[in-house]
Chain A
Amino acid sequence: KNQVEQSPQSLIILEGKNCTLQCNYTVSPFSNLRWYKQDTGRGPVSLTIMTFSENTKSNGRYTATLDADTKQSSLHITASQLSDSASYICVVSLNYGGSQGNLIFGKGTKLSVKP
């Protein structure tokens, strides 16, 4: 069964600190993996997109890694800011022709950044 699991479920950190969110997946055939940020009451917004051959991709203070062999990804946030408080959702995409429109969602990690 195609699944995406994220950990931790929730996380509280102090402003300025770094943190790392984890994503494990069992999805086949794999196409790409995305991390989305979802602010409360808003739709998810894409942070990074990684294909099978990419190991690391950065977007400002966000750095995503992908290990396609172990089927694991992480999202590292550097020098956290209060505005980073949100849910971070890992989404794995099946190859063309997959069911469900090829997007498999994790349940998300709720990050709270405190002053």
Chain B
Amino acid sequence: GAGVSQTPSNKVTEKGKYVELRCDPISGHTALYWYRQSLGQGPEFLIYFQGTGAADDSGLPNDRFFAVRPEGSVSTLKIQRTERGDSAVYLCASSTGPASTEAFFGQGTRLTVV
């Protein structure tokens, strides 16, 4: 596609529910990143994929968070037993590779846990 696409753009869920956030990177981009951005803060790293594998998942806050990229393209961020503190904008970015000079961001998914 022309850019990084994230769906849904907004998601409201009840505390304790399970949610999935989807990221479609730019075609051909092998590197994919997930970030979480709280109000008034810069993006915080969650997980980085190079191809199908998670090269670094050290930013995932706990085992309720999980992400997959089974075919090396689309990625899904999964959050189990959501808590109100999970409310944030979840950003996805992609680049041509780990040494790329630029990452391109999607518009984000705003998750609200009520």
Please report the total number of B residues contacting A with Cβ < 8 Å: 29
Q: Tell me if B62 is interfacial: C-beta within 8 Å of chain A.
A: no
Interface bin, chain A:
20 to 34
Cα distance, A41 to B6, chains bound together (Å): 13
Cα distance, A43 to B50, chains bound together (Å): 21
Which of A95, A97, A101 has the largest number of chain B CB atoms within 10 A?
A101
For the complex formed, measure the closest distance between the CB of A84 and the CB atoms of chain B, giving whole angstroms. 18
User: Whose C-beta in chain B lies nearest to the C-beta of A95?
Assistant: B99
Q: For residues 12 through 55 of chain B, which have their beta carbon under 8 Å from a beta carbon of chain A?
A: 31, 33, 35, 40-45, 48, 50, 55
Q: A32-B101, A96-B99, A100-B56 are in contact. Are A43 and B91 (CB under 8 A)?
A: yes
Cα distance, A115 to B4, chains bound together (Å): 33
Cα distance, A103 to B32, chains bound together (Å): 12
Contacts of A32 in B (CB 8 A): 101
Q: For residues 52 through 102 of chain A, which have their beta carbon under 8 Å from a beta carbon of chain B?
A: 87, 89, 93, 95-102
Q: Tell me if B61 is interfacial: C-beta within 8 Å of chain A.
A: no
User: Whose C-beta in chain B lies nearest to the C-beta of A89?
Assistant: B42
Q: Tell me if A17 is interfacial: C-beta within 8 Å of chain B.
A: no
Q: Quick one: CB contact mask for B76-90 with A, threshold 8 Å, 1 for yes?
A: 000000000000000
- 7 more A-B contacts (CB under 8 A) besides A31-B99, A42-B107? A43-B4, A99-B58, A100-B45, A101-B31, A101-B33, A101-B56, A103-B103
Q: Can you offer 10 A-B residue contacts whose CB atoms are under 8 A?
A: A41-B107, A43-B106, A43-B107, A43-B108, A49-B101, A99-B58, A102-B98, A103-B45, A105-B42, A105-B44
